Amino acid sequence: MWNHRHMTDPSSSSDTAGKTEITVHTSTEADWPTVEQLDAVAFGHYPAAEHSAFWRSLVDPADLLLAREGDTPVGVAMHLPLEFTVPGGEQVAARGITWVSVAPTHRRRGILRTMFTALHEGISATGAPISALTASEGGIYSRFGYGPATVSAGVSLDRRFARFLDTTPDPGGVRIVDAETARTLLPEIYERWRLVTPGAQARPEQYWERMFADSQETRGGATALFFFVHPDGYAAYRYKNTRRPGEDDALVALVTDFVTVTNDAHAALWRTLCGLDLTDRIEAHGHPDDPLRLLLTDYRLPRTVSRTDDLWLRIMNVPAALRLRRYAVDLSTVVEVEDPFLDAGGRFALEISGGRASCERTDAPARFRMRIDVLAGMYLGAHRARGYAAANRLWAADPAELTALDNAFCSDRPAVLGWGF
């Protein structure tokens, strides 16, 4: 059990009389109402009963931390087991951090750092080489060693004008299925997809149960789910009537889950979605390099309406993490990693041959230097070494070596978050 303490000073005075002790403890089942109250205040909505039940089924209370000032709860954070894919298809056991909240009455008192110190002690004890989170704000977690490792782009397509190029495959094979049938088909397709997709996690059974329960609380004012299924992919979507400034009412298909194992499945499902005759727009999220616009006669028709980070990673054990993934080119170098939060940094000899890496601590001179959040951002291939170098966040002894590092960390499949946690 963790029991961390630190003193905080709520005033600007240097007088120690005003200091208050903050303690961080592991929780029990009885603490869930308190956890939910803190989370509701932080994120602006009370969780539905099914949302609470979902998370209670996934998280061991021993992995949930509460910060208290005396008897008053002032912060919460928790972690849960994950398994996700890295480049090359290796499955990595990791820990996912979620429900991170600090009471607005106790800001700027070091509570988040204290909770994260205790939380990462627990993660280290599991032996997980990587930890992960999805961030509600982009400026918080880099100081704890986390870097954005997948990127998602929101696309809006006026399907009334969608025309496919003559070169676009028309493989067919898509069928309409009801929710009961989809429940039997989608998990297997998803599993095949995630086993070859960096960043995608295994979905627990509870995830599928919640998805197919499809309660009103999860619909955001839209319809129940519809399903198109291909042998190697699927699309789940809802309809919603929307009005935008200067526009008439529009019927929009909101794609909530789009998974394709093959290029043929991708083309076939987009052809089918664009065949929804009474639909004005299709809105979906995917990787920024999704080939949809390359399938169409009008390259500009799919409008990118958002671009955001999804999965953030932290390397807990640099040698172990670098040995797990596969690489595009051979490389022999020394990388110096700075870790401002934990002690995972150091200087490492990285030897890549035939796609596999060995990695050991070394005293040899560094050829590259970077913070650990930069290494995390490169780990799945979503961000390039050359981009970090241009931003002065990665130092290279030789530009030619930078090209080799850049190429080595490429992935043959884009990294995608499997589910938000």
User: How many of the other CB atoms lie within 10 Å of CB of 232?
Assistant: 20
Q: Which residues contact 400 (CB under 8 A, 6 or more apart)?
A: none
Characterise 36 by phi-psi region: left (phi > 0), alpha (psi -120 to 50), beta (else). alpha
- Check: CB of residue 349 under 8 Å from CB of residue 360: yes
Name the burial class of residue 111, with classes exposed (0-12), middle (13-18) and buried (19+) by CB atoms within 10 angstroms of its CB. buried
Angle at 226 between CA 222 and CA 231, to 5 degrees: 150
109 labelled binding-site residue: yes
Say whether 146 is catalytic: no
The shares of helix, strand and coil residues in the chain, as percent rounded to the nearest 5, are: 30, 35, 35
CA distance 50 to 40: 15
100 labelled binding-site residue: yes
- Check: CB of residue 355 under 8 Å from CB of residue 88: yes
112 labelled binding-site residue: yes
273 labelled binding-site residue: no
Q: Which residues contact 409 (CB under 8 A, 6 or more apart)?
A: 327, 328, 378, 379, 381, 384, 385
CA distance 268 to 169: 8
Residue with tokens 């600007």: 12
101 labelled binding-site residue: yes
Q: Which residues contact 301 (CB under 8 A, 6 or more apart)?
A: 157, 158, 161, 162, 293
Question: Which entry of 348, 379, 409, 421 is annotated as an active-site residue?
Answer: 421
111 labelled binding-site residue: yes
Question: Which entry of 116, 141, 146, 258 is annotated as an active-site residue?
Answer: 141
108 labelled binding-site residue: yes
113 labelled binding-site residue: yes
Written as one letter, the residue type at 409 is F
- CA 287 to chain centroid, in Å, comes to 12
Name the burial class of residue 158, with classes exposed (0-12), middle (13-18) and buried (19+) by CB atoms within 10 angstroms of its CB. middle
Half-sphere exposure at residue 303, Cβ-oriented, CA atoms within 13 angstroms = 9
Say whether 43 is catalytic: no
CA distance 89 to 412: 11
Binding site, by residue number, is 100-102, 108-113, 136-137
Q: Which residues are catalytic?
A: 141, 421
Residues within the annotated binding site for acetyl-CoA? 100-102, 108-113, 136-137
